[in-house]
Structure 1
Amino acid sequence: MTAENEPSGAEKAFGDFAPALVHLTDDVLFGEVWERTELSPKERSLVTVASLLTSGSTEQLVFHLGLARENGASESELIEAITHLAFYAGWPKAMSAMAVAKRVFGNEG
């Protein structure tokens, strides 16, 4: 559960279907890993966005691009990171990620 007593995204998506995954997502990943102080939330978001892009996990990018903005990454920084990764992760993956970013940032025509 979140601070506002609202179910987390994992809880909403999987609830009783996969309670262990919900626990690991909410309590371990976001409750422990994301709270470690060795990287800032912005740095963790940039690393996560890069990892999701390189693996082609564009469905997860929707959430994490929004979280990256909440964590202090600007849209221009995220667009630049995606552009930079085109040369390391592959053009198709970067193009797919940029399409997601365009939707997330509300820039669809």
Structure 2
Amino acid sequence: MSTKPTAPTAARDSFGSIAPKLAELSDEVLFGDVWERPQLSKRDRSLVTCAALIALGKSEQMNFHFPRAIENGVTHDELVELMTHLAFYAGWPNAMSAVTRFKDLFPAAHQ
């Protein structure tokens, strides 16, 4: 039997009323299981996730994952270096979109 969190989660707050099963899977499987596996640190998982989002051009998801990466120990400089590196492997436009999203999320980081 599945145990549901008593407090609202980010997934439930964000899209739980539209897609409750997706919110449940996000909470229980993605963040409750996959992100908690000890084989990779949360910092490493954040780097991998951000790299995948940049490579796939999923800039909307960066709103959540870039700040989460910072919380998990990735530095601003490392995120910028990730974007620079991926420009050559995942495409210049994807890197430029990521830089734009980074600027919007962390305006103080580039002043």
- Global fold match (TM > 0.5): yes
Q: Does 1:36 align with 2:40?
A: no
1:9 deviates by 2.0
CA offset digits 1:74-101 (Å, max 9, x no partner): 0000100011000000000000001101
- Counterpart position of 1:15: 16
Distance 1:62 1:35 in 2: 21
- Counterpart position of 1:81: 82
- Counterpart position of 1:24: 25
Distance 1:72 1:13 in 2: 24
Query: Which stretches in structure 1 are left out of the alignment for 5+ residues?
Result: none
Displaced runs of 4 or more, over 4 A: none
TM-score normalised over the length of structure 2: 0.89
TM-score normalised over the length of structure 1: 0.90
- Counterpart position of 1:71: 72
| 2:106 alignment partner AA | F
What is the aligned length?
107
- Counterpart position of 1:60: 61
Query: Which stretches in structure 2 are left out of the alignment for 5+ residues?
Result: none
Distance 1:49 1:83 in 2: 13
Contact 2:16 2:22 (8 Å CA) reproduced: no
| 2:71 alignment partner AA | E
Aligned-residue identity in percent: 50
